[in-house]
Chain A
Amino acid sequence: MRGICVIVRSIAPSADPAGLPGPLGNHAATCLRCQAELARYSKLRRQLAVMADVTEPAPDPLAASVADAIATDPPEAGDSESRPRPTRAAAAGAVAAAAAGAVAVAVWRQSKAAV
């Protein structure tokens, strides 16, 4: 296997299905080994895309269990999936608040020392 074939093989998983750019594309156009490798990934991606049209039957109790769960659980206007999740936002807020507090204390101490 030539060195350029190794390069093609290494980038093939993320290669544009339309073709490789520049010298790699020129090489692949004449190298059966590289064409076969790229064709495998194209086939893989086509087959994965086909899976979007295939569904698995949900277990029978699912709809009933959902109905039971929501029977005593009215929709809440304030509870939304679009609401920012608290993890990173809360952490960033806490860090900002702590930093602001530290600055305020330092300023207060300096002003007190000056007096």
Chain B
Amino acid sequence: MLHRAQAGDQAAFSELVRIHQDEVYTLALRLTADRELAADVSQEAFVRAWRALPKFRGDAKFSTWMHRIVVNVAWTQRRKQRKHRADPIDESFAEPVSEAISPERAAESAAMQGRIRSALRELPLPVRTVVVLKDVYGWSHGEISEHLEITVAAAKVRLHRGRKQLRSRLWKEVEVEA
């Protein structure tokens, strides 16, 4: 399917879009915390992927390659928006649907997951982006620094701050609840 898409087969590419759209949209949503913007970022990412597909050598998985494009598009959007408004926060950013984790594990972590998502949305976008890429998607500091055009040290500082803010928000909540 990938090879057919690389050869210009639009139907094959549409199938790739269908397979990867949820994953791409989820990453875009986590980075932007804004449903409308995430949809725009996802569409732009797929269009860029389509254009660049002949150059895709398959060194990484297609999904990994798409993730990089999504990050680039989201970061570009962020630069455009930075002049006009503060970080967008979408209040309708609901609970994602669990697909791949076991029911036991999902049930065990559901409450914590909800709190983490809320806390993540409250992080400043530059910090949230690094936390999402490193701790959720397992990017290295080198990959993060390359794609966000920041130094490795800056990436580490943002990750440290992000985790600290998340910890503060999450366990403060628990203490209040208790």
- A-to-B contact residues, CB < 8 Å: 12-14, 40-41, 43-45, 47-59, 61-63, 65-67, 69-71, 73-77, 79-83, 85, 87-88
Contact = CB atoms under 8 A, between A and B. Distances in A.
Interface in B47-92: 47-55, 65, 68-69, 72
Nearest to B6: A75
A55 B167 contact: no
Chain B residues touching A, range: 35 or more
Nearest to B170: A44
B149 interface: yes
A18 B157 CA distance: 20
The 8 A-B pairs with the shortest beta carbon distances in the complex, nearest first, are A80-B55, A58-B25, A48-B135, A13-B163, A58-B21, A53-B100, A56-B96, A55-B22
B69 A70 contact: no
Q: Secondary structure at chain A's binding surface: helix, strand, loop or mixed? A: helix
30 contacts: A40-B167, A40-B170, A44-B135, A47-B109, A51-B113, A51-B116, A51-B117, A53-B98, A53-B101, A54-B96, A55-B22, A55-B25, A58-B39, A59-B35, A63-B17, A63-B21, A70-B13, A70-B47, A71-B10, A74-B8, A75-B8, A76-B51, A76-B52, A79-B51, A80-B54, A81-B49, A81-B65, A81-B69, A81-B72, A88-B149
